[in-house]
Amino acid sequence: MESSRLGLLSRKTPKRCTQVLATMVVALGPLATGLGKGYSSPALASMQTLSTNSTNTTDFAITPEEGSWIASLSLLGAFFGGLPGGLAMKLGRRRILFIVALPFTLFWFLTVFAKLCSNGLCIFIFMRSLLCNRVIGYSSTPSFLLYRKREKEAEASLTWLRGGHDITRELTTMKANINSMRENEKVSCYKELRRSLIKPILITCGLMVFQKFSGANAFNFYAVPILSQAFVGIDPYSAAVVVALLQILAGMISSMLIDTAGRLPLLIISNILMSSALAGFGTYVYVTEGREVTGAGTDWIPLTCALIFQVAFALGISPVSWLYIGELFPLRHRGLGAIANSVSYACSFASVKTFVDFQLLLGLHGSFWLYSGISVVGLVFTVSLVPETKGRGLEEME
């Protein structure tokens, strides 16, 4: 009795520091990528203002059509980058991260040394270089190492990740799933596709379509130009920063709610709030459009709509859509999540590129009414097809 009590007292509790550290290092990649994507919002506004007000013929000037290409071309490149995503199962996630970081760093160097470019861009190189250095120091994931029959390395990797906690049970479960995966690899691709992959592909790709055509890309890539048209008494640059900061806070809250409230409720609430906010924003623009001066006391309406939309987006459909890619696909076919990834970037490119066209055809108000309608359709899609995965571990859903 005494010995068992001592055993309980001496049992190590899991340490989260190594897991948090590994997550933060990998997150440097999306951070550096996001800095590149966020460039278009203030840059396009300044370029278009320069082309309107400048009398110097040597100044750089762009048209709205050219601006849409500047904003969207990076997403087109990301689409082609997502196609070989299945290589991660063969080469390993760590190696893929390292390979991707090298050209990314090179192209930021090219940007830094471009004519009249601010030296402040060196920070992007530092982030990517830090990603390279830290990734080199980490081992590959335990599941990948087991898949490659490197069991000792897998055990060491899992031990480091769990911070010294007893990994025997988890490692045994992972081995059993890997062995089962190898046995099932003999099943024909056609049969496997019909049995277990059509629904995950449909759900993840559908969520990506509704996520990207929800109007979020319009707000993110054209935030300053949009807010310039909607606001009179508020600096659009400051408003864009406030909206972005609130989106970050909402993302933090979402990370705590995903496993308590569940994925499906967050998706439903997100779509309802997004469609309402977009409809309100479009209605405000429609009512005030054509007026030279609008009441400064009503500027809170579009700002509130923009804030509600960004919070709803970051709270539900933005993180949950990506989470489902890792949860719905079986481990042996998780590389097919690259399909949803490519669909995401293809839709991002299309939504960013066509926003200017929608604005010319439907007006700014009509564009946001359209996005509101798409969010309503996304709500129907979510309620009809998307399953709840709360409380189900990755190995259980396998």
Helix then strand count (H, E) for the chain reads 20, 0
Tokens in use for 36? Answer: 């590149």
**What kind of fold does domain 189-398 have according to CATH?**
Growth Hormone; Chain: A; (1.20.1250)
CB contact at 8 A, 246 and 295: no
Entry pTM: 0.66
Which segment, 55-69, 137-151, 291-305, is predicted with the most confidence on average? 291-305
pLDDT in tens, 159-198: 766 666 667 777 777 777 777 666 555 544 545 555 667 8
Q: What is the DSSP letter of 196?
A: I
Residue reference for tokens 């995401």: 344
Cα separation, 217 vs 367, whole angstroms: 12
> What region, left, alpha or beta, does residue 118 occupy, with left being phi > 0 and alpha being psi -120 to 50 degrees?
beta
Tokens in use for 32? Answer: 């550096």
**Could you give the percent of the chain with pLDDT greater than 70?**
57
Give the pLDDT score at 164.
61
